[in-house]
Amino acid sequence: MPHGRHTCVTTRAPRLSRVGRVASMHKSRVANTFHFATVLTSSPFCSITFGFVLFAMSIVSTAPLHFRAVNLDANLTFVLIVAATLYIVLPFFFRKNIVDKNGNSIPPGPLLRLPSLPDYPERTLHAWAQKFGSLYSFFIGNQLYIVISDANVARELLVNNGAIFSSRKQYFIKNQTILRGRAISASPYGETWRQHRKVAAQLLTPKAIQGYNDVLDYEARIMIRSMYKESMQGALPINPAHYTGRYTLNNMLTLAFATRTDSSSDPLIQRILAMALEFNDLTGPFANLVDFIEPLQWLPNRTHARAEKLHSEFIEVYGAMIMAVKARMDAGEDVPHCLAKVLIEGQQQEKLDWEDMCMLSAAFAIGGVHSTSGIIQWFLALIGKHPDIQARAHHELDAVVGRDRWPVAEDEKDLPFIRAIIKEVLRVHAPFWNATPHSSTEDFVYNGMYIPKGSALILNCFTLHHNEARYSDPHAFNPDRYLGDEMSCAESAHQSNAMERDHWSFGAGRRICPGINVAERILFLAISRLLWAFTIHEVPTEPISLEEYEGTSGRTPMPYRVHMLPRHERVHTALEAEQEIANCEL
Ligand code: HEM
């Protein structure tokens, strides 16, 4: 009945006659409720349940008298409604302090929960690292992220406690929809991951790489020759992305399927590169709201539809390529050692299903194409801005290799400045600023801070790479900092003193990039030869941005053009040697 509430107010009002007192009571009740709600917020589900109880109570208080068990006043009704609303709503906006049985809290971090991180998430993560320290936490939706911004902490958690911190969060878009928990990268830590990683590693050991050194060498030659020809011997500026993409794609096609694309206009190149770009775009660790708000996953949405389509495309394209290798084997061809052959031969023994095989093959194109291509593009973008560094590299190449031949893999150990340039590009422009988040499979306490099972751990490479205690003047592009470092990136990653590791671009611990050795070889052949052949200049009217980039998981520079001027007469001779190229053809 309508005057139930009214009666309540009129009968009680005289005793609370002063408006100020009523207001201050409201205020303090609201404040208490707020405090109560913040302290008690557990999961949003619990909050919703508890919130409904409060709502029910407030409804009871406003219900017709004969339905009420208790006759509550209007103020209390108001407080209950506010409390219920806050209790339901707050957990979606505020962090929750999780504490273990010994009272250890999760690492500090921002108060608000976020729906996602803004573009260029490394900037936000870096700013928070300055504020909250080397180990902090934040929430996206209901997912707790733990951010590691210090080399020693990274080693202690990801390496020394690798048995706990080596799984993967099952992102709805990336891991559940596109990769279906496979492709090594998406697999949870366990026997299947170990077995798949072992299969891929057979192709990626330093010894295995020696087996296709000629092919990598050949592809580097083709890349540089195409750049030389299509820039009209340096007369026109070019956008290097197309050539670097084809170079790294052909390398991966060789490793995975013992095949390559003959022409830069081959539609397969465009298709695979487009799929890899789509993958980069869809799978940033903080990119998709639907990853963090479960109810959204039950509704049809565009991101999910794109992810489903990409999954089907992976099966179609990589499945067809595996079948092509099988057809060659069935026809009696002695197919060179490659991933597809290993998969076909080991399918029974390794208990691989068709999706395993397709996704394992996709892993090479996903992990190995845009990453290496991006580093070569970052190198070309940077080097034109540093003519002094470029001149020193030219000097080293002239002194060690000379102009009668160009550098080969065996020269790497004698070219410390070129090696230093490559490490410095990897430091200042890591393709994955946040690596690929690991996730924890057990509760853990580090330095009194609680890391609950199921946390996602981010290796904050941007902050690690700009730590002044490790890299003086960290924002400067200064290859000299790596002179005297004779280790490969893989060797450096295993050093016991984490502060001496060269950089963290390949990740850390048991999930460290298995392509690290082949990536280094691919980068050395490309970058040493680009420097041997050309002087690289920025186009004066087209300044290149080093701040912006494309992609949410992997990052490549925004499209740009550079001038690449042949450095000496021998460049023409080396690049015009058609005969030599024909002889190398697969
Ligand atoms: C410059 C080149 C490259 C960079 C910077 C790079 C970086 C990374 C990073 C940061 C991770 C995640 C590591 C972690 O979770 O701690 C990773 C994983 C991975 N990378 Fe690379 N990568 C590169 C090239 C390659 C190449 C050439 C291949 C293939 C031949 C490859 C295949 C993979 C695979 C399969 C994984 C997943 C490993 C796992 O989850 O166990 N990557 N890479």
Q: What is the pLDDT of residue 68?
A: 53
Query: Residue 176 pLDDT more than 90?
Result: yes
What is the mean pLDDT of the segment spanning 129-149? 95
Distance 343 CA to ligand 1 centre (A): 20
Both tokens of 574, joined, read: 């080396």
Q: What is the mean pLDDT of the chain?
A: 86
- 349 within some domain: yes
Q: Do 87 and 217 share a domain, yes or no? A: no
Higher pLDDT, 263 or 232: 232
Whether 505 is in the pocket of ligand 1, judged by its Cβ within 6 Å, is: yes
- 370 within some domain: yes
* Confidence class for position 58, pLDDT limits 50, 70, 90: low
Distance 301 CA to ligand 1 centre (A): 29
Asked whether the CA dihedral 326, 327, 329, 335 is positive or negative, the reply is negative
Indicate the Cα dihedral angle 169, 175, 177, 180, nearest 10°: -120
Whether 435 is in the pocket of ligand 1, judged by its Cβ within 6 Å, is: yes
Host H or E run for residue 258: none
Distance 219 CA to ligand 1 centre (A): 21
What pairs with residue 445 in β-bridges?
A: 450
Distance 195 CA to ligand 1 centre (A): 17
Query: Residue 541 pLDDT more than 60?
Result: yes
Whether 507 is in the pocket of ligand 1, judged by its Cβ within 6 Å, is: yes
DSSP 3-state assignment of 401? coil
- 575 within some domain: yes
What is the mean pLDDT of the segment spanning 147-170? 97
| Rg of the chain in Å (alpha carbons) | 29
Indicate which atom in ligand 1 lies nearest the CA of residue 430.
5
Distance 188 CA to ligand 1 centre (A): 16
- 153 within some domain: no
* Confidence class for position 264, pLDDT limits 50, 70, 90: low
Whether 185 is in the pocket of ligand 1, judged by its Cβ within 6 Å, is: yes
- In single-letter form, the type of residue at position 507 comes to G
Report angle CA 453, 456, 458 to the nearest 5 degrees: 140
Alpha carbon nearest to ligand 1 atom 9, residue: 506
Q: Do 286 and 426 share a domain, yes or no? A: yes
- 120 within some domain: no
Distance 305 CA to ligand 1 centre (A): 26
Q: Do 411 and 548 share a domain, yes or no? A: yes
DSSP 3-state assignment of 569? helix
Ligand 1 pocket: which of 187, 372, 513 to mutate (most atoms within 8 A of CB): 513
Query: Which of 98-102, 356-360, 362-366, 469-473 has the least mean pLDDT?
Result: 362-366
Residue partners of 558: CB distance under 8 A and separation at least 6: 545, 548, 549, 550
Distance 546 CA to ligand 1 centre (A): 23
- In single-letter form, the type of residue at position 235 comes to A
Report angle CA 217, 222, 223 to the nearest 5 degrees: 100
Query: Which of 53-57, 286-290, 499-503, 518-522 has the least mean pLDDT?
Result: 53-57
Domain that holds residue 287: 191-584
Residue partners of 541: CB distance under 8 A and separation at least 6: none
Distance 367 CA to ligand 1 centre (A): 5
What is the mean pLDDT of the segment spanning 416-426? 98
Whether 221 is in the pocket of ligand 1, judged by its Cβ within 6 Å, is: no
Indicate which atom in ligand 1 lies nearest the CA of residue 248.
27
Query: Residue 580 pLDDT more than 90?
Result: no
Q: Do 88 and 198 share a domain, yes or no? A: no
Whether 563 is in the pocket of ligand 1, judged by its Cβ within 6 Å, is: no
Tell me the pLDDT tens digit for each residue of 335-345: 999 999 999 99
Higher pLDDT, 380 or 279: 380
- CATH code for the domain of 371: 1.10.630.10
Give me the long-range contacts of 93-96 (CB less than 8 A, separation at least 24): 94/38, 94/41, 95/137, 95/138, 95/139, 96/41, 96/42, 96/43, 96/139
Ligand 1 pocket: which of 203, 494, 506 to mutate (most atoms within 8 A of CB): 506
Q: Strands 143-148 and 456-459, how do they pair?
A: parallel
**How many domains, the chain?**
2
Alpha carbon nearest to ligand 1 atom 21, residue: 513
Q: Where does a domain end: 48, 68, 93?
A: 93
Q: Give the whole-angstrom CA distance, residue 383 versus residue 269.
A: 27
Query: Residue 210 pLDDT more than 70?
Result: yes
Q: What is the pLDDT of residue 365?
A: 84
Asked if residue 442 lies in contact with residue 555, where contact means CB atoms within 8 angstroms, the answer is no
513 is in an annotated binding site: yes
Given the structure tokens 């186009």, which residue do they identify? 539
Q: Give the whole-angstrom CA distance, residue 501 versus residue 186.
A: 26
Whether 504 is in the pocket of ligand 1, judged by its Cβ within 6 Å, is: no
Q: Where does a domain end: 62, 93, 124?
A: 93
Q: Give the whole-angstrom CA distance, residue 105 versus residue 125.
A: 20
Q: Where does a domain end: 93, 115, 144?
A: 93
Whether 511 is in the pocket of ligand 1, judged by its Cβ within 6 Å, is: yes
- 56 within some domain: yes
Whether 519 is in the pocket of ligand 1, judged by its Cβ within 6 Å, is: yes
Q: How far apart are the first and last CA of the chain?
A: 88
